[in-house]
Structure 1
Amino acid sequence: MTPRLVQGHELPKSVDVHHAWIPMPDGVRLHARIWLPTDAHEQPVPALLEYLPYRKSDWTSVRDAERHPWYAGHGYASVRVDIRGCGDSDGVFDDEYSENELNDGLAVIAWLAEQPWCTGKVGMFGISWGGFNSLQLAAMKPPALKAIVTVCSSDDRYDNDVHYVGGSVLGIDMTAWAGTMLAFSSRPPDPQHVGDRWLDLWRRRLDHVTPPLLTWLSHQTRDAYWQRASVCEDYSAIEAAVLAVGGWADPYHDTVLRLVENLSAPARGILGPWAHQYPDRATTPGPAMGFLQETLRWWDFWLKDIPTGVLEDAALRVFLEDSRPPVTAPGDVPGVWLATEWPAAAMRPIALPRASVPSRDDWVIVHTAQHVGVDSGKFFPYGNLTDLAPDQRADDGRSVAFELFVAEKNVTLLGNPEVVLRLDSARPRGQIIVRLCDVAPDGSSRLVSRGVLNLSSRQGRDRVVPFTPGEPETVRVRLTGLGVRIAAGHALRLVLSSTYWPWVWPQPEAGPLRVHLPSSSVTLPILDPARTPERDEVRWESAEHSAVAEPVVLHQRRARGPDGREMSQREIRHDVETGRWRLLVDPAYGGSRTYPHGLVYGEEVHEAYAITDGDPLSAEANSRWLVTLGRDEWQVSLRTEQDVTADANNFRVRARLLAEVLSADGQEVVETVADRTWDELIPRTAG
């Protein structure tokens, strides 16, 4: 359902928009857009901060306009700040969640609290990056920060972010997001805000930029680099009140469960069916909720001392999805809302039944083709038409499957399954991937949970311990949390594979694995049938956004792929002669558009992933970005390329950055501001 648009005259307060430069201790200035109630100087209000690298003047401006004016109209100073070296802020960007970023964040919070229009109380919110740094800054205890709302974020930078999963390199998003951040951190500021300084600022950014993948791949275990700013290292450091929000289709949803369980500060969780989006946006899967109204209850209690009853809410309000077809864009999905404490379900062990492949002396061999995983879906579903994993029958058939049970009546699973395997590896390196699928009577298979274990990290993510072939060990694989009601007549299927491309990068020379069935099991979080609601225990208001007086004009244009033709969002190609599998992706981040302030923004992105059967060293991941920005006579262009391959000993990262000033019509190059290339080898340690 499309959110209702709230016109300015419907808001309790009228709103003005201001731009401000916020000084940092080292002299760098960050640029801020502030939506402020018109009477805030006479009646000061609390401040809400969203702090991002994603460019408020263009990339997030649509999303910003949906919520910042709404908050301001309800009596808050709603503030959007570009991180150092990004968007219109001064300085250079160094890395995600860097010491500079977090120290600047502390300075911004202090500055907001000191403004004459502010009561001295500050809240912070954000989705993804903004949700991450909300948690991280809360752990640094700035006195003015009283409460946060963190959406689709993670408390664990190593094992629950875009870099690694289960100790394995994320092939699909380690590389794609690194390419994205290379493009983001290389864009110029807007002359409308920085004036004639824009070119000098851009040159400085381009001189400083480094492909982030070089850093991320240099830390293949959970070392100090990842521990810093992972709030799971010390949950007790957070004292501000935390409302954690996520969606089952988002890869970060387990953070909601961990925060609710582990925080000593006041904490509540909301976990719905959503993708990597704010849950008031009309994307799939839905339905959407009145997120702004619900967060207003949070802010009013913690920042205005209004008794809104938020502490009377259940620790976790969670959507239990019903069995449904495995489609990539399901729209609003069926299910029911549960209000519960956490944890909620009892853990029930189940022995592994007969496998889908022959076994010998109670051992089954897991040795799957390199292209198992082509139906894994997008790591970050944004609500696009092809984001979710499709029917899993093909990948199930290429793997080793176990039908755990056929439900005689509805069975509700809520929590994190865990698989225990007695396992032997034919090589010192390898990985095991576990999936759980809801299988309908017609044979269709819907992915509901999965887990990855790099065998070298089985004794801890902070170390590399090669496997000794011929010496079986017991390993544990924790799967992602799920909240599903398996319908009567449906089966729950457990699936094992030794490969999962492009979700995880294949290990070199990985050989067959053997699993001893009598010594292996799966433990499922099964909710007491008496506790499974028949009707919603939670009611939400309908979603609404602030209306934009001058809407952005979208230019519907698809990305052009490596062969120059327009792409679909997701395409799988198989060259039968060579055995080469190729996945082409247009991530459809937002596309080209014209903004009310006259900026014309162009964006073309494509990703490609390829692998050849029988050859784990044939894996290749590519990222391509083309961005154009223009207003009147100001026209610029930015291209980035990134290619990742690996041999048995090293990852190889090749990248290029080309930044140009164009003629007024955008057709000719006036100046090449930067043309930089990188070609570097990074030793494979855990990866």
Structure 2
Amino acid sequence: MFPDLKSSDIHPVLQMPFKVIETETEWISVSDGTRLAARVWRPEVDPAIKVPAVIEIIPYRRRDGTLPVDERIHPYWAGNGIAAIRVDLRGCGDSQGFLMDEYLAIEQNDAVDVIDWVSRQPWCNGNVGMTGLSWGGFASLQVAARNPAPLKAIIAVGATVDRYNDDIHYKNGCMLNENFGWGSSLTAFTTRPPDPEVVGKNWEEIWLQRLENLPFFAEKWIENQTYNDYWKHGSVKEEYQNIKVPVMIVGGLNDLYVNALPGLLENLSGACHAVCGPWAHNFPHLATPGPTYDYLADTLQWWQKWLGEPPVKEFGHKTQLVFLKESAAPTPNATNLPGFWIRQENWPPASCHSTALYLGDGTLSATSTTCTDFKIHSPVSTGALAGEWIPHCSGVEIAGDQRAIDAQSTCFDGAPLNEAFDILGRPALTISLSSSAPTGHLIARLCDVAPDGSSELVSIGVINLCHRNGNVSPAAMPINKVQKIEVPLDYTAHRFVPNHRLRVALSTAYWPLIWPAVDNPALSLSGGASVLTLPQKKMVESEKVLVDPPTAPPKPNMTENRASKSQRHVHRDLANGKTIVEIVDDLGEQIYDDHGLSTSATKSERYEIEDGDTLSAQAHISWNFKYQRGKWLAETKTETQMSCDQDNYFIAAKVSAFKGGKLIFEKSFDRKILRTP
């Protein structure tokens, strides 16, 4: 669920040019009078010297939740002459107000106000950057589209330009189970109390007001099942032209958020630098699997270039640093993967071109051919071993050997390669098929098959067949009539080594990563050529580069009372014909030595589905949080569940809060939401 900060081989930064001045809590008032809590790191310089500043605004609590990460980023920038300000989002941590949804206009307004406040500080040169991972990366792109005058550059890590198709909610019309899962987690996160040491004796009143106003976040996301104005808000693909500042976009090949890289490179008019490594959803220098690179030095150069006085004026230069991963044994626990780094100084790269491979009767070749009534129909439990959409580090969340999923899919294999075959970009599948039912899904996986038969996931694309003409107005599939379907796959950078095969694996289910459609149809490939278009790269030796290893300030002062651990099990209930996926994440117990707060958290998930019955799908998630300092003790428990029938989704949640072991608050949600195709 969260990064393992002990996994990377990081070189510690023990000395920096400037001493760092830290303000643990700085209150920033925004336009409506709400006060946001911030932590500030500044370089100690002569008062006559003005320095640039970088802000990060996220909901994950600066004094505990992200403290271990914050302290391995922000002090580095401050020690090198750039002030850093880490702000708790409205209604989170110690900030006032209420969090009512992701990326609301009021959140963007707050960010603009914070940027303005920072730019007017007597120590600031007026030039401000914005950054963050995930939520903070999304917010940086969204605020950049607002163009506040002091904002001069951003760095977005693990972010998206399309909240509907490339976030945790939907993917080409398929509802991801993370839509419910993240809604459950964000609800649980928002139950946590402010710190009495910061907000004072009225902490309980503030806490209870938050709980009274708490939404079940998944509710609105499930209500909006097509690409509409709700999702357009905050999707910067709708307003690329409004982003005028330089953008650095960072993604990982083992993360869901990779498609923003080509999206921004292709559509921004200003400067853009993209970095893509083999890691999961984390800041690169703290990430696994590696190899990683010196992210902090890279970002420091970025800030120094664009936030200096006067700022650099440069228009439209596009560059990217990419790790081209080579074929490897599909081992989720691997902390380093084979491959090499390349740097490209122009976009689009001249060394890439499209190569077409055609799907035959179980074959994949450059010879144009058609399938003769080839069938695709998978068990509804196909995908139980698929891992997670958003892994946070090496381990069970990363997709492993695909053989078990391939066995439940319809596969098309190429011949063994005589030489290396490189791809860099987004593959795409064009397929002609007919369906036995009006609703259904198609999942396309591009795999690298080794001589020993092991199958490594390279890229994936999915589509709700009712969204074959777009995500705005779904239409039922005509029964047994051939339709042309376009399936974009995710951005990737991969070298298939000699003697390996390319495989396209097609399935009609991917549980529990995708909530099933009403039907699990039998699909027939017929009526025309089906082709996989690959962004083949011609290797240019001069593009290969060596990168410096990651560095970071030392780990923060923390005591671990209980180590974190994760369990993941897949069960078959043979008596009842069920497949059950159970996940238990114990985030451990930590004491933050500098202020004495003790925190612990556990999460459990259970997903089940009955053979042959798409409507039997169920999901159950629970979260427990415990916060303690001396005699002060606050706890929350959040339980959520989701199920469906042919016409509706059913979601429920229960939130309980405890003070000193006694129940002081309870709230329940229970909703029926109409399904759309």
Q: 1:305 to 1:439 in 2, by over 3 A?
A: farther
8 Å CA contact 1:182–1:210 kept in 2: the answer is: yes
Q: 1:593 to 1:310 in 2, by over 3 A?
A: farther
Q: 1:312 to 1:156 in 2, by over 3 A?
A: closer
Q: AA paired with 1:65?
A: E
Task: Give distance in 2, aligned partners of 1:91 and 1:645.
Answer: 32
* 2:339 aligned residue: 335
* 1:405 aligned residue: 415
Task: Give distance in 2, aligned partners of 1:309 and 1:229.
Answer: 27
Q: 1:464 to 1:576 in 2, by over 3 A?
A: same
Please state whether the residue corresponding to 2:234 is helix, strand or coil: coil
Q: 1:536 to 1:336 in 2, by over 3 A?
A: farther
Q: CA deviation at 1:472?
A: 1.3
TM-score by length of 1: 0.93
Q: Does 1:202 align with 2:207?
A: yes
8 Å CA contact 1:365–1:515 kept in 2: the answer is: yes
Task: Give distance in 1, aligned partners of 2:485 and 2:316.
Answer: 41
Task: Give distance in 2, aligned partners of 1:325 and 1:58.
Answer: 37
* 2:357 aligned residue: 350
Q: CA deviation at 1:333?
A: 0.8
Please state whether the residue corresponding to 1:66 is helix, strand or coil: coil
Q: CA deviation at 1:241?
A: 0.7
Q: 2:547 aligns with which of 519, 540, 549?
A: 540
Q: AA paired with 2:468?
A: R
Q: 1:126 aligns with which of 132, 153, 156?
A: 132
Q: CA deviation at 1:356?
A: 8.0
Please state whether the residue corresponding to 1:420 is helix, strand or coil: strand
Task: Give distance in 2, aligned partners of 1:573 and 1:521.
Answer: 36
Q: 1:106 aligns with which of 96, 112, 133?
A: 112
Q: 1:249 aligns with which of 250, 254, 262?
A: 254
Please state whether the residue corresponding to 2:202 is helix, strand or coil: helix
Q: AA paired with 1:82?
A: D
Q: Does 1:594 align with 2:601?
A: no
* 1:318 aligned residue: 322
Q: Does 1:452 align with 2:457?
A: no
* 1:221 aligned residue: 226
Aligned-pair identity in percent equals 36
Task: Give distance in 1, aligned partners of 2:602 and 2:74.
Answer: 28
* 1:166 aligned residue: 172
Task: Give distance in 2, aligned partners of 1:309 and 1:3.
Answer: 34
Q: 1:262-661, aligned counterparts within 5 Å? A: 262-281=267-286, 283-305=287-309, 315-340=319-344, 341-344=346-349, 345-355=352-362, 362-516=372-526, 518-528=528-538, 531-533=539-541, 537-548=544-555, 551-557=557-563, 568-587=566-585, 590-596=587-593, 597-661=595-659
Q: 1:356 to 1:301 in 2, by over 3 A?
A: closer
Q: 1:74-93, aligned counterparts within 5 Å? A: 74-93=80-99
Q: Deviations over 1:626-667 (max 9, x none)?
A: 0000111211000001101111111000110001101xxxxx
Aligned residue pairs, count = 661
Task: Give distance in 2, aligned partners of 1:170 and 1:312.
Answer: 35
Q: CA deviation at 1:544?
A: 1.3
8 Å CA contact 1:300–1:308 kept in 2: the answer is: no
Q: Does 1:258 align with 2:260?
A: no
Task: Give distance in 2, aligned partners of 1:553 and 1:175.
Answer: 33
Q: 1:361 to 1:25 in 2, by over 3 A?
A: closer
Q: Deviations over 1:27-48 (max 9, x none)?
A: 1100111011223644221111
Task: Give distance in 2, aligned partners of 1:585 and 1:540.
Answer: 36
Q: Deviations over 1:108-145 (max 9, x none)?
A: 11110011111111001111010000000000000000
Q: 2:664 aligns with which of 662, 670, 673?
A: 673
* 1:146 aligned residue: 152
* 1:56 aligned residue: 62
Q: CA deviation at 1:353?
A: 2.3
8 Å CA contact 2:341–2:545 kept in 1: the answer is: yes
Task: Give distance in 1, aligned partners of 2:665 and 2:250.
Answer: 41
Q: CA deviation at 1:569?
A: 2.5
Please list every run of at least 4 consecutive aligned residues from structure 1 whose deviation after the TM superposition is greater than 6 angstroms.
Answer: 306-314
Q: Deviations over 1:532-584 (max 9, x none)?
A: 54x87233222111125x5212233457xxxxxxxx52211111222211111
Task: Give distance in 2, aligned partners of 1:609 and 1:308.
Answer: 52
Q: 1:310 to 1:327 in 2, by over 3 A?
A: farther
Q: Does 1:2 align with 2:9?
A: yes
Q: 1:314 to 1:218 in 2, by over 3 A?
A: closer
Task: Give distance in 1, aligned partners of 2:300 and 2:136.
Answer: 18
Q: 1:553 to 1:312 in 2, by over 3 A?
A: farther
Task: Give distance in 1, aligned partners of 2:650 and 2:268.
Answer: 40
Q: Deviations over 1:359-406 (max 9, x none)?
A: 998111111101111121111111142121111111101110000332
Task: Give distance in 2, aligned partners of 1:67 and 1:646.
Answer: 43
Task: Give distance in 2, aligned partners of 1:606 and 1:356.
Answer: 42
Task: Give distance in 2, aligned partners of 1:293 and 1:360.
Answer: 51
RMSD of Structure 2 on Structure 1 (CA):
2.1
Q: AA paired with 1:336?
A: F
8 Å CA contact 2:272–2:317 kept in 1: the answer is: no
Q: Deviations over 1:124-174 (max 9, x none)?
A: 111101000000000000000000011111111000001001111002x11
Task: Give distance in 2, aligned partners of 1:555 and 1:128.
Answer: 28
Task: Give distance in 1, aligned partners of 2:310 and 2:197.
Answer: 40
Q: Deviations over 1:430-466 (max 9, x none)?
A: 1111001000000000011110010111111111111
8 Å CA contact 1:362–1:518 kept in 2: the answer is: no
Q: Deviations over 1:596-629 (max 9, x none)?
A: 2100001011112111110101111111100000
Q: AA paired with 1:538?
A: V
Task: Single out whichever of 367-376 and 484-493 deviates more from structure 2.
Answer: 367-376
8 Å CA contact 2:54–2:130 kept in 1: the answer is: yes
Task: Give distance in 2, aligned partners of 1:30 and 1:455.
Answer: 45
Q: CA deviation at 1:316?
A: 1.3
Q: 1:360 to 1:46 in 2, by over 3 A?
A: closer
Task: Give distance in 2, aligned partners of 1:536 and 1:553.
Answer: 45
8 Å CA contact 1:625–1:640 kept in 2: the answer is: yes
Q: Deviations over 1:515-536 (max 9, x none)?
A: 11752111111112xx254x87
Q: 1:312 to 1:262 in 2, by over 3 A?
A: closer
Task: Give distance in 2, aligned partners of 1:194 and 1:210.
Answer: 23
For structure 2, the 5+ residue unaligned runs are 1-7
* 1:564 aligned residue: none
Q: AA paired with 1:287?
A: P
Task: Single out whichever of 457-466 and 518-527 deviates more from structure 2.
Answer: 518-527
TM-score by length of 2: 0.94
* 2:4 aligned residue: none
* 2:3 aligned residue: none
8 Å CA contact 2:59–2:92 kept in 1: the answer is: yes
Q: AA paired with 2:336?
A: D
For structure 1, the 5+ residue unaligned runs are 560-567, 663-667
Task: Give distance in 1, aligned partners of 2:391 and 2:583.
Answer: 12
Q: 1:173-188, aligned counterparts within 5 Å? A: 173-188=178-193
